[in-house]
């Protein structure tokens, strides 16, 4: 999923324009980066922890030539997912099996859809590329996740 798709899904879900939603999403990303540069750590509850760590200098090998090269020390960003995210990722197989069972009873779609769980009125937003997929008259299963999930109709 791209930033543009995230913006579109959020703007449709909460009723803001895509321009205003783009500003909010970009400012959120900018705040994360600025905090990492300034404090070297940012913790987002139920999401995870971003941290800046220093990688030591090391010897490496050029894969094309096999020549040994020196790699200087550098700062890298690490991410450790929160417990809630890890649990949801671990149970993806179960969710996919449930979704496959649900879609085997209905007409399969040729393209996957991206859904969001809406906390604003229970509406569900579907995206696939730039165009929403037509529904086959069946109500879409609401997502159990507050994060974006991939579903097929």
| pLDDT computed for residue 108 by the predictor | 52
Tokens of 16: 């803001």
Global model pTM greater than 0.75:
no
User: Do the strands 41-44 and 58-61 form a parallel or antiparallel pair, or are they unpaired?
Assistant: unpaired
Q: How far apart are the first and last CA of the chain?
A: 18
**Residue 153 CB neighbours (<10 A):** 22
- The predicted-structure confidence for 77-122, as pLDDT tens digits, reads as follows 999 999 999 999 999 888 888 888 888 876 555 544 544 444 444 3
| Of 148 and 74, the one with more pLDDT | 74
- The predicted-structure confidence for 46-70, as pLDDT tens digits, reads as follows 899 999 999 999 999 999 999 999 9
Q: In this structure, which long-range contacts are made by residues 106-112, counting pairs with CB atoms below 8 Å and at least 24 apart in sequence? A: 106/136, 106/138, 106/153, 107/136, 108/152, 108/153, 109/133, 109/136, 109/152, 109/153, 112/150, 112/151, 112/152
Say which CATH architecture domain 3-151 belongs to. Irregular (4.10)
Instruction: Kindly state the helix (H) or strand (E) to which residue 42 belongs, with its residue range.
Output: strand 41-44
Helix (H, G, I), strand (E, B) or coil at 1: coil
> Average pLDDT of 144-153?
45
Percent of the chain with pLDDT over 90: 58
Mean pLDDT taken over the chain: 79
């Amino acid at each position: 999923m791209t930033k543009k798709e995230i913006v579109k899904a959020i703007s449709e879900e909460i009723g803001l324009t895509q321009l205003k939603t783009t500003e909010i999403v970009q400012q959120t990303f900018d705040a994360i980066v600025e905090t990492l540069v300034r404090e070297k750590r940012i913790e987002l509850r139920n999401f995870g922890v971003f941290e800046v760590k220093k990688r030591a200098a090391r010897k490496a090998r050029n894969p094309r030539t096999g020549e040994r090269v020196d790699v200087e020390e550098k700062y890298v960003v690490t991410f450790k997912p929160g417990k809630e995210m890890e649990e949801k990722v671990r149970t993806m197989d179960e969710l996919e099996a449930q979704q496959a069972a649900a879609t085997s009873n209905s007409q399969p779609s040729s393209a996957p859809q991206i859904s969001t769980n809406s906390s604003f009125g229970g509406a569900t937003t579907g995206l696939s590329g730039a165009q929403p997929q037509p529904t086959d008259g069946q109500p879409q299963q609401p997502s159990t996740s507050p994060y974006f999930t991939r579903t097929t109709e």
